[in-house]
Chains A and B, each alone.
Chain A
Amino acid sequence: MTMSDPILGTFHDAETGETVTRELTAEEIAALPESGEPLTLPE
């Protein structure tokens, strides 16, 4: 994924059963956790 690629998310509503995959809004992106350091453990 490059910086220009949209950030997509799948959203499922258990009440309606509806599932959509769409681009995240700015508010939704702001609510995401910051990425941690890649968890690359020794093999």
Chain B
Amino acid sequence: MAVKTFAVGEVLTASDTNTYLNNGGLVYVTSTTVGSAVTTVTVSNCFSSTYDNYRITFAGSQPTATDSFRLMIGSGATNDHYGTMNYDAYYGTVSGVLRVNNGPSIYAVLNEAGNKTAQFSCDILSPNLAQPTVIFGQSYGRGFYCNFGGTRAASTAYTGFTITIDGAGTFTGGTITVYGYRKA
């Protein structure tokens, strides 16, 4: 049973406590702080058979150049990422679509030099299963709200992911957190 309502004064048994403390839909897997002046951040061994699907959040990192953050599953030297990012400026005058067709990574968020507002949250489905990995999420950065999504088309089981900065520059700080979707 996923939900139980306890009555006032009811004794909490060890069994109930252990069960319901772990009954959340999203279960924390890991978190890390990005170092200084890096080009990439890689989180390894975060995908396993424990969960089929995951949520990733990325927030508070500061880039040195205005460009974008990209997300890749497995090696970015292999061109089988497919994705689309729809972007729309909050001030309403700029919008568009950025497509990746058989590219090395998927665009996740537009960033801005010296600014920490480039942040995203996305779901990653089936990364550790022997089938294509699917990614979709939302982001905000440089005044643009974005929907993005795509796939790493290979039917490969991956155990981690990498966030890279596109183009020139590096990025510093910020936090990446990974959650798993509880199966049952």
Contact = CB atoms under 8 A, between A and B. Distances in A.
B104 A33 contact: yes
Given A12-B176, A38-B166, A43-B94, A32 B35 contact: no
B39 interface: yes
A11 B37 contact: no
Interface in B62-80: 64-68, 70, 72, 75-77
Given A17-B30, A21-B36, A33 B77 contact: yes
A39 B66 CA distance: 8
B94 A41 contact: yes
Contacts, number: 109
Interface stretch (B12-20, B131-139, B167-175): B167-175
Q: Give the secondary structure class of A's interface.
A: loop
Nearest to A32: B76
Contacts of B67: 38-40
A12 B160 CA distance: 10
A10 B38 CA distance: 7
Given A14-B30, A31-B76, A40-B66, A9 B107 contact: no
Interface of A: 1, 7-17, 19, 21, 24, 28, 30-43
